[in-house]
Amino acid sequence: MAGITDRPFRRLAMRFGADLVVSEMVASREMVTARRGTRDKALGADMPGTAVQIAGAEAHWMAEAARIAEDMGARVIDINMGCPAKKVTATAGDGASGSALMRDVPNALRLVEAVIGAVAVPVTLKMRLGWNEESLTAPELAAGAAALGVSRITVHGRTRCQFYKGRADWAAIRPVRDALPKDVPLIANGDICSLNDARNALAQSGADGVMIGRGAQGRPWLPGQIADALGGRVPRAAPEADDLAALVREHYEQMLSFYGPGLAVRVARKHLGWYLEAAGDPAGLRRTLMTETDPAAVLSLISRAFTPARRTAA
């Protein structure tokens, strides 16, 4: 997720047991030309269980970006054909990419073939159901990609024109399962925010696994909990009170180190907001946390917000 699944966030999700973590989407041309900050999105690619996700509309740039990501240590290259953002699907810059490619399956498959031919690591593909209800091309695209050698297909249960409106339609993913060889895993995505959601998504879609996106915002432990439960293991407990305060402080400190204080203070605000939401907005400190610019003061506020004893004392 752009602006969210950076290296600090991915590290936390992996520590809590996520089977696979995926980088922020990286524009392929900007990856190759080393536009400032672009390759930073793929930092941490050498961590076990990490995929680097690339996007673009031209085979040359996609292949070169995949090679760079592999050289950075990526264990998996993931191709994004699911992003619905207008700036990604428009025909400017790197071309109409993301979910726009679902309207041009032949070109989409040319990109898949180029990436697979460029690297030795597994290549996976993320998509939506199609561009709109009249163009549900996911089964066709998935089958073609599998024939080229894609290792895994992930489908978000919405069309591009739905963006994030309504509810993801997990049952609409099942035609993709029917179109794929049995040895190519299918992953269901969209609105999976709990273990119950995961089980329902698997049952309705026929998928082999689930991918969690927005459901992990403020809860980096959730993918690991769901993986534990689906794998027949006892899910590890979500951090609370002092443990939660320590986790949020650690996440904030990692962001300070990764981005530098000036940028980190701004980037971290959304994460702090999600942590507060997940914890029931304790102590009503949201506005103060969202506006504070001194990192030391933010760390102190985190302790007050998430530690009951300190909230009482305050």
Strands (E), 71-159: 76-81, 123-128, 152-156
Establish how many alpha carbons lie within 13 A of residue 102's alpha carbon, considering only the half-sphere containing its beta carbon: 31
∠ CA 258-264-265, nearest 5°, is 155
Give the C-alpha separation, 162 to 171, whole Å. 16
Nearest C-alpha neighbor of 79 from the set 36, 119, 139, 19: 119
CA distance 30 to 56: 10
Q: Is-catalytic flag, 193?
A: no
Are 9 and 50 in contact, with CB atoms under 8 Å apart?
A: no
Which is the catalytic residue, given 62, 65, 79, 83? 83
Residues acting as catalytic residues: 83
